[in-house]
Amino acid sequence: MNRLIRITLVLAIAQPCLAVAQAPAGDSGQTAAGGLGAAYIAFKYPELFGNVLSLSGAFWRGNEASNGPPFEWLTQQYAASPKLNLHFVIDVGSRETVGALGGTAPSLMDANRRLHSILKQKGYAVEYFEVPSGQHSPDTWRVRLPLGIVALSR
């Protein structure tokens, strides 16, 4: 079965569950969790998902996307595991510098930089972009999403 069909099937099955779990309208945190979720699913099922596109990924989060320490849990998992056959496009805005949870957790920019660094050290195919004046908002992502898709198709 080709990868696009598998992804479509997984999304069709998961969509009702995701719709229930979504944050209230206007809460952009659901998109950051999408980048984290994509990287986690690819980590667990690399034979199904060879590409990861993350826009403002919430890589600061703890185990199972918790708000508690140890922060950057998924980054630690990638660091401690053998390299997988995955291609990443990671995109974060240059204005995403405020620490999560009122400053008690890393900022999106810092957490994305650290994940990028670990992936590069381990030899992953990774394209990393810090978007000048980019913010944690759909206005930034709307422009960046097509560029990320193109980058993954190379």
User: 14 φ, ψ to 5°?
Assistant: -80, -25
Exposure string of 4-26, with b = 16+ CB inside 10 Å and e = fewer, is: eeeeeeeeeeeeeeeeeeeeeee
- Domains annotated for the chain, with CATH where assigned, are 29-152 (3.40.50.1820)
The identity of residue 112, as a single letter, is: N
The two structure tokens encoding residue 81:
């595991």
pLDDT of residue 138: 84
Nearest to 47 by CA among 1, 80, 108: 1
What are the residues facing 93 on neighbouring strands? 131
Average pLDDT over residues 28-42: 78
Place of tokens 């949870």: 101
**pLDDT tens sequence across 72-88:** 999 999 999 999 999 99
Query: What percentage of the chain has pLDDT greater than the value 70?
Result: 79
The answer, as to whether pTM is greater than 0.75, is yes
Angle of CA points 29, 108, 73, to nearest 5°: 90
**pLDDT tens sequence across 8-20:** 555 555 544 443 3
